[in-house]
Every structure is written in C-alpha cells, then in structure tokens.
Structure 1
Amino acid sequence: MDKLALASRLATIALVALAGTAFAQAPDLLACTGPFAREADEAALIKAFGAANVQRARIEIGEGEKAAGAILFPKDKKRRLELIWRDGKTRRGPSTIYIRQGSAWAVAGPAGERLAIGSALAAVEAANGKPFSILGFDWDYSGTAADWQGGKLEKAFGGCRLTIRFGYPKDADAKALDRLSGDKEFSSADPDMRLVKPTAYEILLSWPD
C-alpha cells in the first residue's frame, strides 16, 4: 500500500471514529422511519447501528411480562433503546420502541419540540396544543398519558402512537398526590397535577397491530 492510499485509509477511519463520538454526545431523534419503520427488521438495525450495538433480548413490557426484542447500545445508558418485535421468530416489524430512564434519545413534537426523559408535563401539554388525559399514580399504569384528546401529539408520528409515562418528584405535595392516585383518568390541566409537577420517565412509539 503506497503512502497516499494509506493516508486516505487512515483519514476514513478517523472520520468514522469522529462520527461515532458525535453520536455518543448527541443521540438522535427517534422516529418511525428507517430502521424503525413498520416493516424493518433486525438486519436494518444492524446496518444502521452496527452488529456490536444490537443485542437480542427479552424485553420487559409490564406486569412481569417479556417479549422478544432488541436492545441498541446495551452498554451505553445514554444511547440505549429497547424495542419489541411484532414477529419475534423472524425478528421483523418493530411493535413498540422504548426510551427509558437514563437514555438521551428524544422524539420531536409537531413544532420541533424535543420531548425526552425529564420533560415536564407542562412542556408536553404545550406540544400537544391542549390538555390531555393522564392516568393516576401509584399503580401498574401509573402516570401514563392515556388520551391526547385530539391534540397535536395524537397524529404527529407518521402512523406510530406516542405514549409518555410520567413520574413525580420525591418532594411532591403529598395531599395532591393522594388525590391523583389510582386507576382513574385526570386532566393534565388539573390543579393537583400542576402542583405535583410530573416529568416523563418513559417514552414509547408504537406501531398499531
């Protein structure tokens, strides 16, 4: 290999390394396109993110149940994503993609708002353009945004459905929290909800069956 070819190869390696570093610093916005499109498969994930960064796994989906899926960047908390497959045998068709606590991925609201782990309830309501329904706290579906009430977040993701789960801070007003607990729906504009000041702890994009 002559010196010019060697220099060109080294420059290419450096650019790839630089791109990897940039991604580590600023994870992308999650969307239901490309490797997350309705008919995408494991091969598409590997092509997009590299075989070393795609791990087959049984993914926790709630109430102690798990489903066949994949973990992206399993060793990097900020870049980590989890998904389950509609067809677990062929590892095809993302069903639900999870952004979980610690991940720096986000979804883009209809006006380009960045909705991520830690986003305040008020910020999500603003992106929706109106109040939405949220389930009460301290049970299996605690703090889940149940219905966007016809707001902008209802159809903003190209066929995917957005679900956000909210938690409350340790110092949340105890009396307000008590009134917001249990298997009931509340408005995001409820005065008690404003007082508790929930923030997002899990974000899901799901393809309908």
Structure 2
Amino acid sequence: MSHATLVRRFGTGNVVFRTVNAAEGERAKASIVFPGDPARRVEIIWLDEKRRRRPAQVSVSDPGAWRTPEGTGVGDSLKAVEAANGRPFVLYGFGWDYGGTVVDWEGGRLARTGCRLLLRLTPRPGPYAGEADGERAFRSDSAVMGAIDPVVYEMLLTFE
C-alpha cells in the first residue's frame, strides 16, 4: 500500500498528507483518508515516509465505518471486544500514555500475524475512582474492569 494507492482508491480530494499527533507527544507525517469526515477518517503513518509507502501504523479514533473483520471498532464496550476476541485479554491500567492499551489477546481471535491490532480503551464518562490506574496490567474479565466497563477510543494496526 502507498499514498498513491489511497489516492487512486478514494480520490484526490479525499486523501491528504499532513502532520498528525503520534506516540508519546511526537508528531509525524501521515496520509489521511477522508480528513473532513470523522466517521470515515483514517490516518496512515508510513515506514518509508519519503516515498509514502509501506504502512507503519493505521489508526482510527472516531466511531464509524472502520471495523475489524470480527466487527470490533471504536465505541465498542469491553464486553463486546471480549466477545469478538472469544476470550478475556490483558490491558494496561488507565491514566498514563499507554493507559487502556490491550497488550495481550491471550491467543484470541483478535491476535494477528503480519500486523498487530492495538485497541485503546477508556473509562466511560462519570465517576471513576481510579482503582485501575497506572502502569500495570489487568485482565478484561477482572472485577475492577467489569465495574468500570471501558469503551474503545482508538483502534490501531501496527506493521514492521
């Protein structure tokens, strides 16, 4: 895949190359498909930025059209992700840079070969006491995660 491929597929007016926010407060150049439509917007950071080819990361952060083959997407609940995976999984606690990131699919259906699916979840709006905060791992089927019932706020595919 390349920026040129995206332009051919989605049209010149629907693909731009701009600076976006990246991991740990960094900025990166990315191809953005449907930049003006949050429900269809997707950002692609390239391994070969100069030639704009070979994706390093594909990210979606608004509920909408983009979903995994298993049907998982932004806005899904913890239980919906667990059902799509076919089993519990492991995610980090909240309140830090990688908070809510799934770190192990525990051999479930959402584990990938050739790329890695990362989902990031956040507690729902409302009172939250912080009992699942910090740089530690939690099982999705733990009592604390069940009580918080977080939702997916970002979906990423990473490639090497």
- 1 or 2 for the larger relative contact order (CA 8 Å, sep ≥6)? 2
Q: TM-score, normalised by structure 1?
A: 0.73
1:79 matched residue in structure 2: 40
Instruction: Name the Cα RMSD after superposition.
Output: 1.3
In the alignment, does 2:118 pair up with 1:163?
Answer: yes
Deviation track 1:134-165 (CA, whole Å, cap 9, x = no partner) reads 0000111110001111112113xx52211100
Question: Aligned partners of 1:128 and 1:138: how far apart in 2?
Answer: 24
1:193 matched residue in structure 2: 145
* Structure 1, gaps ≥5 residues long: 1-39
Report the structure, 1 or 2, having the larger helix content: 1
How far did residue 59 of structure 1 move?
2.3
Question: Aligned partners of 2:128 and 2:28: how far apart in 1?
Answer: 36
Question: Aligned partners of 1:129 and 1:75: how far apart in 2?
Answer: 35
1:11 matched residue in structure 2: none
Same amino acid, percent of matched pairs: 40
CA contact (8 A) 2:88 2:140 kept: yes
* Structure 2, gaps ≥5 residues long: none
- Alignment of structure 1 residues 92-171 onto 2, 5 Å: 92-109=53-70, 114-155=71-112, 159-171=114-126
CA contact (8 A) 2:45 2:55 kept: yes
Q: TM-score, normalised by structure 2?
A: 0.94
- Cα distance, 1:93–1:132 mapped onto 2, change above 3 Å: same
One-letter identity of the residue aligned with 1:184: R
Query: How many residues are matched?
Result: 160
Greater shift, 93-102 or 127-136, is seen at 93-102
Moved over 3 A (4+): none
